[in-house]
Amino acid sequence: MGKMKIAIQGELGAYSHIAVEQLYQDAEIKTCSTFEDTFKQAYNDSTYKIIIPIENSLAGRVADIHYLLPKYKLQIHGEYFLPVVHNLLGKPDATIDDIKYVRSHAQAISQCQKIITEKNFKPIISVDTAGSAKDLAEGKDKTIAAIASDLSAKMYNLKVLKKNIEDDSGNVTRFLIMGKNIEQPEYNKKKKYITSCIFRVKSEPSALYKCLGGFATNQVNLTKLESFSVKNTFDQANFYLDLEGHLEDVGVKKALEELSFHTETLDILGVYESSKFREK
């Protein structure tokens, strides 16, 4: 059997890269410039899986992902929770007093507001954290720092000016492992599962209330429910939903049947084992 092939958004050294290393040994990693390019890679080549950040405990959901889920309809094969430790990286000859600008992904910038405000750094938004570190390494300006992982520092020969600069220590990013093929785990009553779906409610009064009623009557716990607009309109919304349970659970099956009666579209994105991280 060949190496596991994984596509990620961002350069090597990104937090997605760290997640890959912790999940799969010796995986073949393909870097993609955008989240959409990452989805396209798995959509066009079923030998690839992708590892995508969907939400962060401090900064909330990752922009664009919810719009790409229904567009490409890749299946979720699993989830992974990665504790995120941000570092302020500089040129090898720089000190923290030299820094005037800080470059990183918007999520990382938002998660490190305390040091940015304290030091009066001017933020520069970039596509990803590791890409910021790579750009810094290739440039000559030592007044610019990057917010990125310690792996990025090692890969691009940068100095860690300050470790653990995130605003809160409980900074965790949830990743989804996705692919084109369905890999639904066999139901085992002793295990815990998550089922994820996206649906669009009918345009009628109390539609969402009716959609959610089946989960209450069948005692199915929802761990996440988020809305996002359909294309460029405010008239309708799609909803992303995570629930506890497997499609073969009687309660889950009945709840989803009731949900389907009150929706225009309903796509099951995946059934997968619940991460042990949820039990903490």
Catalytic residues, by residue number, are 173, 175
Q: Which two tokens stand for residue 36?
A: 């959409």
Residue with tokens 């099951």: 268
Q: Are 87 and 150 in contact (CB under 8 A)?
A: yes
State the Cα–Cα distance between residues 41 and 26, nearest whole angstrom: 20
State the Cα–Cα distance between residues 272 and 110, nearest whole angstrom: 30
Q: Are 6 and 30 in contact (CB under 8 A)?
A: yes
Environment class of 69 (CB within 10 Å of its CB; exposed 0-12, middle 13-18, buried 19+) = buried
| H or E element that contains 19 | helix 15-23
| Beta-ladder partners of 211 | none
State the Cα–Cα distance between residues 81 and 279, nearest whole angstrom: 12
Q: Which two tokens stand for residue 258?
A: 């009731």
State the Cα–Cα distance between residues 130 and 225, nearest whole angstrom: 30
State the Cα–Cα distance between residues 107 and 114, nearest whole angstrom: 14
Q: Are 70 and 266 in contact (CB under 8 A)?
A: no
